[in-house]
Amino acid sequence: MTAVAPTRADAALREIEERVLWLASAIVDHANRVRPNPTGLKVGGHQASSASITTIMTALWLETLGPEDRVSVKPHASPVLHALEYLLGQLPADKLTTLREFGGLQSYPSRLKDPVPADYSTGSVGIGATAPIWGAIARRYVNTQFGTGGAGRQWSLVGDAELDEGAVWEAVVDPMVAELGEVVWVVDLNRQSLDRVVPTFGATRLQGMFAAAGWQVLTVKYGALLEELFTRDGGPELRDRIDEMTNPEYQRMLRRSADELRAQLPGDGAGAAAIAGLIAGVADDDLVAAVRNLGGHDLAALRTAFGQIDDTRPTVVLAYTLKGYGLATEGHPQNHSALLSEAQLHELAARVGVDPADPWARFAPTSEPGRLLSAAAGRLARTEHEGAPAPAVPTDLGRTPNGTATTQAALGRTLLDLNRAAPEAGARVVTVSPDVSSSTNLGGWVNKVGVWSAEDRRDWFSDDPETILHWRERPSGQHVELGIAEVNLVGLMGELGSTWNRWSQPLLPIGVMYDPFVSRALEPWSFGVYAGGQSILVGTPSGVTLAGEGGAHQSITTPSIGLEQPGVVTYEPGFALDTEWCLLASLGRLGRPDGTSAYLRLSTRPVDQTLAAVPDDPAARERRRRQVVAGAYVLRRVAEPAVTVVTMGAMITEGLAAADRLTGLGHPADVVVVTSPGLLFRALQARRGQDDAATAVLDQAFPADRAVPMVTVLDGHPHTLAFLAGIHRVPAVHLGVTRFGQSGDLASVYRHHGIDTDAVVAAALDLV
Ligand SMILES: Cc1ncc(C[n+]2csc(CCOP(=O)(O)OP(=O)(O)O)c2C)c(N)n1
Ligand SMILES: [Mg+2]
């Protein structure tokens, strides 16, 4: 691509670019060399990664972005972001000395923890990069349902090695993504990752991969200086030589003197003589400048590329850059975490015209750079979006299931009932599933609300009488179906769960996947929760209770994960009504400043619902409900307990059967049903002053005067409930699953893992 002619403002833009480079370097320098560091522990920060993307970000913030655009910035460029925020008057000067300080600028751009909220949190490579894709879908969803999400591009500034992450490609190839014209990625193609020069970096391969997925591909390879050389005699040979050079050889050229370049640059190919002839006529300084003259550092070349974005499909701009551009560490393979020495920093200061004794100096408002900055600040000023508060969610829909039901089926049922009982809340529910909506019992709900798509699509099976699941795709649909990629699913959930504070439109997102795949999705979901996304993750079916579906599909560690995950309340209900109550309580905590996410672990085990013995009296029913959503309740109370059986989820049936047998054997047993180990753990911590959670549930479910030996049993790792014995320090045995399983019928599988009724009885007899 050839650059357009430089504009009058280019010199001022260059000055701003150099000041951004200076500030980003100085922010990291201050954190590492100036701020006192009594422990001597590494602070860190990335000057070379920042320098690599400084031109790109300057071009974007000063010329290209609009007020409705949102940008995800690669993690190690946070100093550049803060430098721009500072120059644009958003970030006060006293924050520039706080990088990585407690309460200061975060290591990586953060939506919730930085003084100027980042548009997207980044840091988990591949996840921050893809977030704007999901943000774009979430905004389109808000626009089709409520019409208030605004427009604007969704940018992602991506490190080239981030493209090693599978998460990137899972997102790029999702069929929904090819329609997103507002998505633009700029790849900072510096051919370096953390520890190495990427051996063979096929830009051509990358171009092909993005193009095959339907993306517009723009490549900004060379700057104006090199492009001009390429037009001279020997120019085509020089272009071929640089095009064909390996990454390490090219990186080595960056650190050579002019004399060395004259010897090395021609190479030993057919074009060597022509290249030698060409560069013989180039002055030393120009030659050194020319080898590093890549398009990602050429404002005009970037401007041209950004001007070509067609907005009809996603765009990727592959911008060739140098890691450490303009710094003494430029192009060095080990520059990722390298810090400039004091002398090198002073050299930089001298080159860009800054006094190191006054590192945070601003441009005079009347200067050309000052004028450009104030124009950009005005252009980027954002207006608040008008929206709605989170809807009121009922706590009880008043039904009492009898007969046999599963907790998984209760999910779909509750959503349908909610739509009827509280249409305003129902209208904000959006379900998401990675190609498992019918196998996770969402079929009825999907039939009712339809499948979301930005435009109406024809349902070719609407007149087929044998079709039970109707796939009506329309902008008013409330179910989003993605391909089988759990990481994409949680990425979208994080963004649907952020619309309440991004666009002032709260949604109640519920993502459903098989429970064993929760661990695959966990890190990106957790990152989304960290970034402010509030959503409900439903894992179903779960545990070894999915028996026949196979050993590899059985989930063992998820109850423990649920207990430990920050920002999330985890429930594992055993009855349909408990599921409804937990779901409603979780929905009621979404889309608000003090909100939390939830994880519901459900099952396909048919359970006799009369075992729940739901009280008829409205006050007693409400008391039960409160205990269910608080974490536990006493389901059976005997006169003089000899043992307490604590049971959860699918194991309630075994817990009750064992209690009956123990009582018959002369060892009367109380039965406590746990719905949330995490809430109980927090209550216990609170009782000891370590948490601010409510503690009443402990006195109600585990009163001191009934403290007797305890057996706990769950379909998951037994340590999840082991802490309960510590409430009153009673002797205890903890049953659960600790080994990989295998397919089989329920009775065999339970016996194999020692969680069957016999095992509970035997454990209790050992104790009493
Ligand atoms: C999932 C994940 N894996 C590993 C890391 C550690 N890490 C941070 S940056 C990085 C290399 C980044 O290289 P690139 O994206 O090319 O960035 P740049 O060269 O611009 O610094 C690695 C391995 C991480 N943050 N997240
Ligand atoms: Mg890189």
CB count in 10 Å sphere of residue 733: 20
Per-residue pLDDT tens for 364-399? Answer: 999 999 999 999 999 999 998 888 999 999 999 999
What is the C-alpha separation between 149 and 182, in angstroms, rounded?
Answer: 13
User: Residue 7: its pLDDT value, please?
Assistant: 62
Q: Is 207 known to sit in a ligand binding site?
A: no
Distance 191 CA to ligand 2 centre (A): 5
Q: pLDDT tens, 551-570? A: 888 999 999 999 999 999 99
Query: What does the alpha-carbon distance between residue 277 and residue 229 come to, in Å, rounded to a whole number?
Result: 12
Hey, what are 544's tokens?
């070894």
Least confident of 46-55, 239-248, 707-716: 239-248
Say if residue 190 carries a ligand binding annotation: yes
> pLDDT confidence of 2, banded at 50, 70, 90?
very low
Quote the pLDDT of residue 484: 87
Strands of the sheet with 473-474, listed across from one edge: 473-474, 451-452, 479-482, 429-434, 508-513, 536-539, 597-601, 568-571
At residue 200, the pLDDT reads 62
- The response to whether 160 counts as a known ligand-binding position is yes
The answer to whether the Cα torsion of 44, 45, 46, 47 is positive or negative is negative
- Tell me the pLDDT band of 3, cut-offs 50, 70 and 90: very low
Q: What is the pLDDT of residue 6?
A: 53
- What lies within 8 Å, CB to CB, of 100 at 6+ separation is 31, 43, 44, 45, 106, 107
- Does pLDDT of 1 surpass 50? no
Which ligand lies nearest the alpha carbon of 56?
1
Q: Which of 53, 164, 170, 194 is the pocket-test mutation for ligand 1 (most atoms within 8 Å of CB)?
A: 194
Taking residues 192-221, report their average pLDDT.
87
CA 211 to centroid of ligand 2, rounded, Å: 21
The chain-wide mean pLDDT, for the chain, equals 94
Provide the 8-state DSSP code for 233. Answer: T
Say how many Å lie between the first and final Cα of the chain, rounded.
82
Three-class secondary structure of residue 338 per DSSP: coil
Closest residue to atom 4 of ligand 1, CA basis = 125
Percent of the chain with pLDDT over 90: 86
Ligand 1 centroid–CA 26 distance in Å is 22
The residues near 252 (Cβ < 8 Å, ≥ 6 apart) are none
C-alpha 194 to ligand 2 mean position (Å)? 7
Residue 644 binned pLDDT confidence (cut-offs 50, 70, 90): very high
Contact criterion met (CB below 8 Å) for 629 and 590: no
pLDDT confidence of residue 8: 63
E strand or H helix at 426:
helix 423-428
Average pLDDT of 352-356? 96
Provide the 3-class DSSP secondary structure of residue 319: strand
Per-residue model confidence as pLDDT tens digits over 688-739: 999 999 999 999 999 999 999 999 999 999 999 999 999 999 999 999 999 9
Predicted confidence band at 584 (pLDDT cuts at 50, 70, 90)?
very high
Ligand closest in space to the Cα of 159: 1
> What pLDDT does 150 receive?
81
Residues 455 and 453: their CA atoms lie apart, in Å, by 5
Residue 4 has pLDDT above 70, yes or no: no
Q: pTM of the predicted model, to two decimals?
A: 0.95
The minimum-distance atom of ligand 1 relative to the CA of 523 is 1
Return the ∠ at Cα 17 (arms to 14 and 18), rounded to 5°. Answer: 90
- The residue-averaged pLDDT of 431-460 equals 83
In 3D, which of 523, 435, 514, 512 has the Cα closest to residue 487?
Answer: 523
- Residue with CA closest to ligand 1 atom 15: 159
Cα of 51 from ligand 2 centre, angstroms: 11
CA 443 to each of CA 85, 133, 469, 479, 516: distance values in angstroms, whole numbers, following the listed order = 47, 27, 6, 10, 21
pLDDT-based confidence at residue 470 (cuts at 50, 70, 90): confident
Supply the pLDDT for residue 75: 97
| Cβ < 6 A, ligand 1 pocket | 49, 52, 74, 76, 123-126, 159-162, 188, 190, 192-194, 323
The token pair at 475 is 């902008």
Name all domains of the chain by residue range, CATH numbers in brackets.
8-223+294-380 (3.40.50.970), 404-608 (3.40.50.970), 631-767 (3.40.50.920)
Residue 297 has pLDDT above 90, yes or no: yes
Q: Which atom of ligand 1 is nearest to the CA of 46?
A: 21
Give the side-chain half-sphere CA count within 13 A for 184.
24
